[in-house]
Protein backbone atom coordinates (compact mmCIF):
# COMPACT_ATOMS: atom_id res chain seq x y z
CA UNK A 1 0.00 0.00 0.00
CA UNK A 2 1.37 3.41 -0.98
CA UNK A 3 1.93 6.16 1.64
CA UNK A 4 -0.95 8.17 0.16
CA UNK A 5 -3.30 5.16 0.39
CA UNK A 6 -2.32 4.68 4.03
CA UNK A 7 -2.85 8.38 4.82
CA UNK A 8 -6.23 8.49 3.07
CA UNK A 9 -7.55 5.73 5.36
CA UNK A 10 -6.37 7.39 8.58
CA UNK A 11 -8.98 8.88 10.93
CA UNK A 12 -7.74 12.42 11.45
CA UNK A 13 -7.62 13.85 15.00
CA UNK A 14 -10.69 15.71 16.23
CA UNK A 15 -10.70 19.52 16.44
CA UNK A 16 -12.53 20.62 19.59
CA UNK A 17 -14.92 23.57 19.42
CA UNK A 18 -18.32 24.54 20.77
CA UNK A 19 -21.54 24.55 18.76
CA UNK A 20 -21.57 28.37 18.78
CA UNK A 21 -17.99 28.52 17.49
CA UNK A 22 -18.81 26.04 14.75
CA UNK A 23 -21.88 27.92 13.51
CA UNK A 24 -20.94 31.54 14.20
CA UNK A 25 -17.15 31.45 14.05
CA UNK A 26 -14.67 33.12 16.37
CA UNK A 27 -13.49 36.74 16.52
CA UNK A 28 -10.15 35.72 15.03
CA UNK A 29 -11.91 33.94 12.16
CA UNK A 30 -13.96 37.01 11.26
CA UNK A 31 -10.95 39.30 11.73
CA UNK A 32 -9.32 37.36 8.87
CA UNK A 33 -12.39 36.51 6.79
CA UNK A 34 -13.88 39.98 6.37
CA UNK A 35 -10.71 41.93 5.42
CA UNK A 36 -9.58 39.07 3.16
CA UNK A 37 -12.61 39.00 0.88
CA UNK A 38 -13.30 42.73 0.99
CA UNK A 39 -9.75 43.66 0.00
CA UNK A 40 -9.44 40.84 -2.54
CA UNK A 41 -12.74 41.71 -4.25
CA UNK A 42 -12.09 45.45 -4.40
CA UNK A 43 -8.51 44.95 -5.58
CA UNK A 44 -9.54 42.42 -8.26
CA UNK A 45 -12.25 44.70 -9.65
CA UNK A 46 -9.93 47.72 -9.55
CA UNK A 47 -7.23 45.86 -11.52
CA UNK A 48 -9.86 44.66 -13.99
CA UNK A 49 -11.07 48.26 -14.45
CA UNK A 50 -7.52 49.43 -15.16
CA UNK A 51 -6.95 46.58 -17.61
CA UNK A 52 -10.17 47.42 -19.47
CA UNK A 53 -9.52 51.17 -19.18
CA UNK A 54 -12.78 51.63 -17.35
CA UNK A 55 -13.44 53.93 -14.42
CA UNK A 56 -13.66 52.31 -11.02
CA UNK A 57 -16.92 54.04 -10.15
CA UNK A 58 -19.75 53.47 -7.69
CA UNK A 59 -21.20 50.55 -9.67
CA UNK A 60 -17.83 48.81 -9.74
CA UNK A 61 -17.49 49.23 -5.97
CA UNK A 62 -20.99 47.81 -5.39
CA UNK A 63 -20.13 44.85 -7.64
CA UNK A 64 -16.93 44.22 -5.66
CA UNK A 65 -18.76 44.39 -2.34
CA UNK A 66 -21.46 42.05 -3.66
CA UNK A 67 -18.83 39.50 -4.72
CA UNK A 68 -17.16 39.77 -1.30
CA UNK A 69 -20.52 39.02 0.33
CA UNK A 70 -21.04 36.02 -1.97
CA UNK A 71 -17.61 34.57 -1.13
CA UNK A 72 -18.05 35.16 2.61
CA UNK A 73 -21.35 33.24 2.61
CA UNK A 74 -20.01 30.44 0.39
CA UNK A 75 -16.79 29.89 2.32
CA UNK A 76 -18.54 30.16 5.70
CA UNK A 77 -20.94 27.37 4.70
CA UNK A 78 -17.96 25.32 3.50
CA UNK A 79 -16.25 25.90 6.85
CA UNK A 80 -19.37 24.70 8.68
CA UNK A 81 -19.45 21.46 6.67
CA UNK A 82 -15.73 20.74 7.02
CA UNK A 83 -15.58 21.50 10.73
CA UNK A 84 -18.68 19.39 11.47
CA UNK A 85 -17.22 16.41 9.62
CA UNK A 86 -13.77 16.88 11.18
CA UNK A 87 -15.29 16.77 14.69
CA UNK A 88 -16.75 13.35 13.88
CA UNK A 89 -13.31 11.79 13.23
CA UNK A 90 -13.69 11.10 9.52
CA UNK A 91 -10.96 9.60 7.33
CA UNK A 92 -8.69 11.78 5.23
CA UNK A 93 -10.21 10.36 2.04
CA UNK A 94 -13.74 11.24 3.19
CA UNK A 95 -12.71 14.79 4.15
CA UNK A 96 -11.00 15.37 0.81
CA UNK A 97 -14.15 14.23 -0.98
CA UNK A 98 -16.18 16.55 1.25
CA UNK A 99 -13.77 19.38 0.39
CA UNK A 100 -14.54 18.85 -3.31
CA UNK A 101 -18.23 19.06 -2.50
CA UNK A 102 -17.61 22.29 -0.61
CA UNK A 103 -16.02 23.82 -3.72
CA UNK A 104 -19.18 23.05 -5.69
CA UNK A 105 -21.27 24.40 -2.80
CA UNK A 106 -19.30 27.65 -2.66
CA UNK A 107 -19.47 28.15 -6.42
CA UNK A 108 -23.21 27.47 -6.44
CA UNK A 109 -23.84 29.88 -3.56
CA UNK A 110 -21.76 32.55 -5.31
CA UNK A 111 -23.71 32.17 -8.56
CA UNK A 112 -27.10 32.09 -6.83
CA UNK A 113 -26.50 35.14 -4.62
CA UNK A 114 -24.89 37.02 -7.51
CA UNK A 115 -27.92 36.58 -9.77
CA UNK A 116 -30.33 37.49 -6.95
CA UNK A 117 -28.38 40.69 -6.20
CA UNK A 118 -28.23 41.56 -9.91
CA UNK A 119 -32.01 41.15 -10.11
CA UNK A 120 -32.60 43.28 -6.98
CA UNK A 121 -30.04 46.03 -7.61
CA UNK A 122 -30.05 46.54 -11.38
CA UNK A 123 -33.30 44.78 -12.33
CA UNK A 124 -31.47 42.25 -14.50
CA UNK A 125 -33.83 39.57 -15.88
CA UNK A 126 -33.34 36.43 -13.71
CA UNK A 127 -34.11 34.05 -16.59
CA UNK A 128 -32.12 35.08 -19.62
CA UNK A 129 -29.00 34.13 -21.55
CA UNK A 130 -27.04 36.92 -19.88
CA UNK A 131 -28.19 35.72 -16.45
CA UNK A 132 -27.04 32.17 -17.30
CA UNK A 133 -23.69 33.44 -18.55
CA UNK A 134 -23.26 35.55 -15.39
CA UNK A 135 -24.17 32.57 -13.17
CA UNK A 136 -21.63 30.29 -14.89
CA UNK A 137 -18.95 32.95 -14.64
CA UNK A 138 -19.67 33.54 -10.95
CA UNK A 139 -19.67 29.76 -10.35
CA UNK A 140 -16.24 29.48 -11.96
CA UNK A 141 -14.80 32.42 -10.02
CA UNK A 142 -16.32 31.21 -6.73
CA UNK A 143 -15.02 27.67 -7.37
CA UNK A 144 -11.53 28.96 -8.21
CA UNK A 145 -11.20 31.27 -5.20
CA UNK A 146 -12.72 28.68 -2.86
CA UNK A 147 -10.14 26.10 -3.94
CA UNK A 148 -7.36 28.15 -2.40
CA UNK A 149 -9.48 29.01 0.66
CA UNK A 150 -10.52 25.40 1.33
CA UNK A 151 -6.96 24.13 0.90
CA UNK A 152 -5.68 26.70 3.39
CA UNK A 153 -8.49 25.98 5.85
CA UNK A 154 -7.92 22.21 5.69
CA UNK A 155 -4.23 22.83 6.36
CA UNK A 156 -5.08 24.98 9.39
CA UNK A 157 -7.45 22.31 10.72
CA UNK A 158 -4.78 19.64 10.32
CA UNK A 159 -2.19 21.78 12.10
CA UNK A 160 -4.63 22.58 14.92
CA UNK A 161 -5.68 18.95 15.39
CA UNK A 162 -2.07 17.72 15.40
CA UNK A 163 -1.22 20.45 17.90
CA UNK A 164 -4.05 19.26 20.18
CA UNK A 165 -2.85 15.65 19.89
CA UNK A 166 0.70 16.72 20.75
CA UNK A 167 -0.54 18.80 23.69
CA UNK A 168 -2.55 15.82 24.98
CA UNK A 169 0.49 13.56 24.61
CA UNK A 170 2.73 15.99 26.48
CA UNK A 171 0.10 16.36 29.21
CA UNK A 172 -0.16 12.58 29.55
CA UNK A 173 3.62 12.23 29.64
CA UNK A 174 3.84 14.92 32.33
CA UNK A 175 1.14 13.18 34.38
CA UNK A 176 2.99 9.87 34.02
CA UNK A 177 6.28 11.40 35.12
CA UNK A 178 4.58 13.06 38.07
CA UNK A 179 2.96 9.77 39.06
CA UNK A 180 6.32 8.02 38.82
CA UNK A 181 7.89 10.70 41.01
CA UNK A 182 5.14 10.38 43.60
CA UNK A 183 5.53 6.60 43.54
CA UNK A 184 9.28 6.90 44.05
CA UNK A 185 8.82 9.28 46.96
CA UNK A 186 6.26 7.00 48.58
CA UNK A 187 8.10 3.75 47.88
CA UNK A 188 8.98 1.66 50.90
CA UNK A 189 11.59 -1.03 51.22
CA UNK A 190 9.47 -4.21 50.81
CA UNK A 191 11.83 -6.41 52.80
CA UNK A 192 11.80 -4.04 55.75
CA UNK A 193 8.02 -3.67 55.52
CA UNK A 194 7.18 -7.37 55.37
CA UNK A 195 9.76 -8.23 58.02
CA UNK A 196 8.16 -5.64 60.30
CA UNK A 197 4.69 -7.06 59.70
CA UNK A 198 5.93 -10.59 60.38
CA UNK A 199 7.54 -9.36 63.59
CA UNK A 200 4.27 -7.75 64.71
CA UNK A 201 2.36 -10.91 63.89
CA UNK A 202 4.80 -13.09 65.83
CA UNK A 203 4.43 -10.86 68.91
CA UNK A 204 0.70 -11.60 69.10
CA UNK A 205 -0.40 -14.73 70.95
CA UNK A 206 -1.82 -17.48 68.74
CA UNK A 207 -5.21 -17.13 70.38
CA UNK A 208 -5.42 -13.55 69.06
CA UNK A 209 -6.73 -14.75 65.70
CA UNK A 210 -8.37 -11.52 64.57
CA UNK A 211 -5.29 -9.27 64.92
CA UNK A 212 -3.07 -11.92 63.37
CA UNK A 213 -5.48 -12.32 60.46
CA UNK A 214 -5.63 -8.54 60.02
CA UNK A 215 -1.85 -8.28 59.75
CA UNK A 216 -1.73 -11.16 57.26
CA UNK A 217 -4.43 -9.55 55.11
CA UNK A 218 -2.67 -6.19 55.24
CA UNK A 219 0.54 -7.86 54.09
CA UNK A 220 -1.36 -9.45 51.17
CA UNK A 221 -2.72 -6.04 50.17
CA UNK A 222 0.70 -4.40 50.26
CA UNK A 223 2.24 -7.30 48.36
CA UNK A 224 -0.42 -6.91 45.66
CA UNK A 225 0.26 -3.16 45.45
CA UNK A 226 3.99 -3.72 45.01
CA UNK A 227 3.44 -6.46 42.42
CA UNK A 228 1.25 -4.39 40.07
CA UNK A 229 2.51 -0.83 40.57
CA UNK A 230 4.47 -0.88 37.28
CA UNK A 231 1.72 -2.55 35.20
CA UNK A 232 -0.78 -0.44 33.18
CA UNK A 233 -3.51 -3.10 33.44
CA UNK A 234 -4.12 -6.43 35.15
CA UNK A 235 -6.81 -9.16 34.75
CA UNK A 236 -10.05 -8.43 36.56
CA UNK A 237 -9.74 -11.69 38.51
CA UNK A 238 -6.46 -10.41 39.98
CA UNK A 239 -8.05 -7.05 40.81
CA UNK A 240 -10.98 -8.84 42.50
CA UNK A 241 -8.52 -10.82 44.64
CA UNK A 242 -7.19 -7.49 45.91
CA UNK A 243 -10.77 -6.30 46.52
CA UNK A 244 -11.49 -9.48 48.51
CA UNK A 245 -8.40 -8.94 50.65
CA UNK A 246 -9.43 -5.33 51.31
CA UNK A 247 -13.02 -6.32 52.19
CA UNK A 248 -11.77 -9.08 54.49
CA UNK A 249 -9.74 -6.47 56.36
CA UNK A 250 -12.69 -4.08 56.58
CA UNK A 251 -15.07 -6.82 57.77
CA UNK A 252 -12.73 -7.43 60.67
CA UNK A 253 -13.29 -3.76 61.51
CA UNK A 254 -17.01 -3.34 60.84
CA UNK A 255 -18.10 -6.93 61.51
CA UNK A 256 -21.85 -7.35 60.84
CA UNK A 257 -22.20 -3.68 59.82
CA UNK A 258 -20.56 -4.45 56.47
CA UNK A 259 -22.43 -6.81 54.15
CA UNK A 260 -21.09 -7.78 50.73
CA UNK A 261 -22.98 -8.93 47.63
CA UNK A 262 -21.23 -9.87 44.38
CA UNK A 263 -22.53 -10.79 40.94
CA UNK A 264 -19.59 -11.23 38.58
CA UNK A 265 -20.10 -12.76 35.13
CA UNK A 266 -17.41 -15.39 34.46
CA UNK A 267 -16.86 -13.97 30.96
CA UNK A 268 -15.37 -10.73 32.32
CA UNK A 269 -12.75 -12.23 34.64
CA UNK A 270 -10.07 -12.14 31.95
CA UNK A 271 -10.78 -8.52 30.99
CA UNK A 272 -7.97 -6.15 31.93
CA UNK A 273 -8.47 -3.12 34.16
CA UNK A 274 -6.04 -0.54 35.59
CA UNK A 275 -4.68 -1.76 38.96
CA UNK A 276 -6.64 -0.68 42.05
CA UNK A 277 -9.40 0.92 39.94
CA UNK A 278 -12.15 -1.37 41.21
CA UNK A 279 -10.58 -1.48 44.67
CA UNK A 280 -10.73 2.32 44.80
CA UNK A 281 -14.44 2.33 44.01
CA UNK A 282 -15.10 -0.31 46.66
CA UNK A 283 -13.00 1.63 49.18
CA UNK A 284 -15.07 4.77 48.53
CA UNK A 285 -18.26 2.73 48.98
CA UNK A 286 -17.10 1.50 52.38
CA UNK A 287 -15.69 4.85 53.49
CA UNK A 288 -18.69 7.01 52.55
CA UNK A 289 -21.52 4.47 52.56
CA UNK A 290 -20.80 2.18 55.51
CA UNK A 291 -18.50 3.98 57.94
CA UNK A 292 -20.80 6.98 58.72
CA UNK A 293 -23.83 4.74 59.46
CA UNK A 294 -24.26 3.05 62.81
CA UNK A 295 -26.42 0.39 61.17
CA UNK A 296 -23.93 -0.13 58.34
CA UNK A 297 -25.19 -1.35 54.99
CA UNK A 298 -24.55 -3.45 51.93
CA UNK A 299 -21.85 -2.90 49.31
CA UNK A 300 -22.75 -4.55 46.00
CA UNK A 301 -20.37 -5.33 43.16
CA UNK A 302 -21.71 -6.22 39.71
CA UNK A 303 -19.73 -6.93 36.56
CA UNK A 304 -21.00 -7.99 33.15
CA UNK A 305 -20.14 -7.87 29.45
CA UNK A 306 -22.19 -5.75 27.04
CA UNK A 307 -21.29 -5.23 23.36
CA UNK A 308 -17.68 -6.23 23.91
CA UNK A 309 -17.17 -3.87 26.83
CA UNK A 310 -16.78 -4.46 30.56
CA UNK A 311 -19.50 -2.79 32.63
CA UNK A 312 -18.90 -2.74 36.37
CA UNK A 313 -21.07 -1.16 39.08
CA UNK A 314 -20.36 -0.63 42.79
CA UNK A 315 -23.28 0.50 44.95
CA UNK A 316 -23.54 1.57 48.58
CA UNK A 317 -26.17 3.25 50.75
CA UNK A 318 -26.05 7.04 50.97
CA UNK A 319 -26.53 10.23 49.04
CA UNK A 320 -24.30 12.38 46.84
CA UNK A 321 -24.29 15.48 49.03
CA UNK A 322 -22.61 18.82 48.49
CA UNK A 323 -21.40 18.81 52.07
CA UNK A 324 -19.63 15.47 51.81
CA UNK A 325 -16.12 15.16 53.26
CA UNK A 326 -15.02 13.55 49.99
CA UNK A 327 -12.64 15.61 47.85
CA UNK A 328 -13.46 13.61 44.73
CA UNK A 329 -9.74 13.15 44.09
CA UNK A 330 -10.06 9.37 43.75
CA UNK A 331 -12.68 9.62 41.01
CA UNK A 332 -10.70 12.34 39.23
CA UNK A 333 -7.59 10.17 39.23
CA UNK A 334 -9.57 7.16 38.02
CA UNK A 335 -11.06 9.15 35.14
CA UNK A 336 -7.64 10.54 34.23
CA UNK A 337 -6.16 7.03 34.11
CA UNK A 338 -9.04 5.74 31.98
CA UNK A 339 -8.75 8.70 29.61
CA UNK A 340 -5.00 8.15 29.27
CA UNK A 341 -5.38 4.41 28.54
CA UNK A 342 -8.63 4.27 26.54
CA UNK A 343 -9.50 7.82 25.43
CA UNK A 344 -13.26 8.29 24.92
CA UNK A 345 -13.94 4.54 25.02
CA UNK A 346 -14.01 4.38 28.83
CA UNK A 347 -15.95 6.23 31.52
CA UNK A 348 -16.47 6.34 35.28
CA UNK A 349 -19.75 7.90 36.41
CA UNK A 350 -21.11 8.52 39.92
CA UNK A 351 -24.92 8.62 40.14
CA UNK A 352 -27.88 8.47 42.53
CA UNK A 353 -30.24 5.83 41.05
CA UNK A 354 -32.36 5.71 44.23
CA UNK A 355 -32.94 8.17 47.11
CA UNK A 356 -30.65 6.18 49.43
CA UNK A 357 -28.34 4.48 46.96
CA UNK A 358 -25.11 5.71 45.33
CA UNK A 359 -23.75 3.91 42.28
CA UNK A 360 -20.30 4.14 40.68
CA UNK A 361 -20.39 2.81 37.11
CA UNK A 362 -17.20 1.85 35.30
CA UNK A 363 -17.17 0.96 31.60
CA UNK A 364 -14.12 0.21 29.47
CA UNK A 365 -13.15 -2.01 26.51
CA UNK A 366 -12.66 -5.65 27.44
CA UNK A 367 -9.11 -6.40 26.34
CA UNK A 368 -7.63 -9.80 27.22
pTM beyond 0.75, yes or no: no
Report the alpha-carbon angle 179-181-187, nearest 5.
Answer: 100
Could you give the CA distance from residue 284 to residue 333 in angstroms, rounded to a whole number? 13
Could you give the CA distance from residue 226 to residue 190 in angstroms, rounded to a whole number? 8
SS3 111: helix
Could you give the CA distance from residue 63 to residue 333 in angstroms, rounded to a whole number? 60
For each successive 10 residues of the chain (368 residues), what is the average pLDDT?
Answer: 52 70 87 92 85 78 88 91 77 80 90 86 76 87 91 86 77 74 55 62 72 77 70 89 86 88 93 90 91 91 92 92 60 85 89 92 88
Could you give the CA distance from residue 249 to residue 215 in angstroms, rounded to a whole number? 9
Could you give the CA distance from residue 70 to residue 106 in angstroms, rounded to a whole number? 9
Q: Write down the pLDDT at residue 135.
A: 86
Question: Is the CB of residue 38 less than 8 Å from the CB of residue 65?
Answer: yes
SS3 292: coil
List residues bridging with 357 in a β-sheet: 354
**Which of 315, 324, 327 is CA-nearest to residue 361?**
315
Count how many Cα atoms sit within 13 Å of the Cα of residue 155 in the half-sphere of its side chain. Answer: 6
Look at domain 231-365 and name its CATH class.
alpha beta
**Which of 76, 70, 75, 96 is CA-nearest to residue 12?**
96
Q: Can you give the residue ranges of every domain in the chain?
A: 3-169, 231-365
Residues 191/194/195/201 CA torsion (nearest 10 deg): 180
Strand 297-306 to 258-264 pairing:
parallel
Question: Is the CB of residue 342 less than 8 Å from the CB of residue 336?
Answer: no
Could you give the CA distance from residue 74 to residue 335 in angstroms, rounded to a whole number? 42
How is residue 91 annotated by DSSP?
B
Question: Is the CB of residue 210 less than 8 Å from the CB of residue 200?
Answer: no
Q: Write down the pLDDT at residue 188.
A: 47
SS3 320: coil
Angle of helix 129-186 relative to helix 329-342, nearest 10 degrees, comes to 120
Question: Is the CB of residue 257 less than 8 Å from the CB of residue 331?
Answer: no
Amino acid sequence: MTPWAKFSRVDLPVVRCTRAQRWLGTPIYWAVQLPLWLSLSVLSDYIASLANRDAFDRDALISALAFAFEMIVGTHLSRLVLLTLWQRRRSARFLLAAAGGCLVLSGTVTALIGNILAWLLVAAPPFSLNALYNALWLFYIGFEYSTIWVACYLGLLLIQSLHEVEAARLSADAATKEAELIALKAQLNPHFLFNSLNTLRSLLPREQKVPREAITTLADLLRAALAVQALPTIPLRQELATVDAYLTLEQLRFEERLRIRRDIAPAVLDCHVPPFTVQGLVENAVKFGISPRSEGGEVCLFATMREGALHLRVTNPGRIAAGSVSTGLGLKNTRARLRHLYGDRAACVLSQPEPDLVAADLSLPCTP
